[in-house]
Amino acid sequence: MALKAVGFDIDGTLYPDHQARWCSLPFFFAHMRSIIAFSRTRKLMRLNSDDSVIAENAGEAEVVYFAEERNCSLERARDIRDRVIYKGWEKYFRGIKIYPDVRESLLRLKDAGLKLAALSDFPVGRKLEFFGLEGIFDVVLGFPESGRLKPRHEPFLNMAEGLKTNPEDIIYVGNKLDYDVRGAENAGMRGALIGSPGRRAPSDVTKYSDYQHLADSILSEVAK
C-alpha cells in the first residue's frame, strides 16, 4: 500500500507533556476537584467503551459520567466540562513550545504531497494557532466531534474519511502506545511513536526519535 497521509496526535506529541503540566499548575490547583473527577470520567469511558450510551452520543455520555463523578447535576457537569475543562485550559497553551523542527517537518511532508491530519481526544480549540501550526493540517478533529475516545477505531476512521484516504494508506503518530499506536492499528492504519531517543518501544512498533528523523524516514519511504 502507498503511504498517502500522516496523522498526528496533539497533546504530548507535538509538544512535551511536562511543559503542559508545568504551565497549567495554577489551573490544576484552582480546579483540582473537577480535574480529578474528569480524569476518572475518561478512564470509565474507556473501560466501558462498549456501553450503548457512549456509542449513541459520546459527548453526552461524557457529561453523564462526569456528573456522577463530580456529584452534581447534568447541567452543572456540562457547564464545568465546557467552561473549565475544555475552555479554561486553553489559555495555558500560549506558553508551551512545540518540539524542535515540528513546523518544518510538517511542511516537508506536505510539500511531498502527503495529506496531514491532527486527531485529539480533546477539543483542539486554538492550540494549533498558539503553536504556529494553523492551516497546515488538512483535517483537524477533536473530541467530541471525533465520535469516540482512542483507542476505539471510530476516531481514526473518521479522520481517514475526512482525509478521503484509505486507512491502510495512513500512518498515525502519537506518544502513547495503547491509545495512539494500537488504536491506529485497530482501524487498519500503521501506528508510530515519537519521543526521546531513550524511550523504549516494542520491536513491532515504528519509533521516531525526533521530527527530523520522522520526516526523513517518511520521505525516504515515499520516494521508493
DSSP letter for each residue of 19-56: HHHHHTHHHHHHTHHHHHHHHHHHHHHHHTTT-HHHHH
Over the stretch 37-77, which tens digit does the pLDDT of each residue have? 999 999 999 999 888 778 789 999 999 999 999 999 999 99
pTM, two decimals, is 0.93
Q: Note the pLDDT of residue 198.
A: 47
Instruction: Go through the domains of the chain in sequence order and give each one's CATH number.
Output: 5-16+96-223 (3.40.50.1000), 25-88 (no CATH)
Kind of pairing between the strands at 190-194 and 115-119: unpaired
Confidence at 2, pLDDT banded by 50, 70, 90: confident
Average pLDDT over residues 161-182: 96
Angle at the Cα of 126 from the Cα atoms of 125 and 132, rounded to 5 degrees: 145
Confidence at 7, pLDDT banded by 50, 70, 90: very high
Confidence at 199, pLDDT banded by 50, 70, 90: low
Q: Note the pLDDT of residue 203.
A: 83
Q: For residues 16 and 45, give the distance between their C-alpha atoms in angstroms, rounded to a whole number.
A: 25
Q: How far is CA 27 from CA 1, 34, 125, 135, 219, in A?
A: 45, 11, 17, 29, 40
> Is the N-terminal amide bond of 151 cis, ω within 30° of 0?
yes
Beta bridge partners of 174: 193
Q: Note the pLDDT of residue 53.
A: 72
Assigned C-alpha cell, 92: 495555558
Over the stretch 90-116, which tens digit does the pLDDT of each residue have? 888 888 899 999 999 999 999 999 999
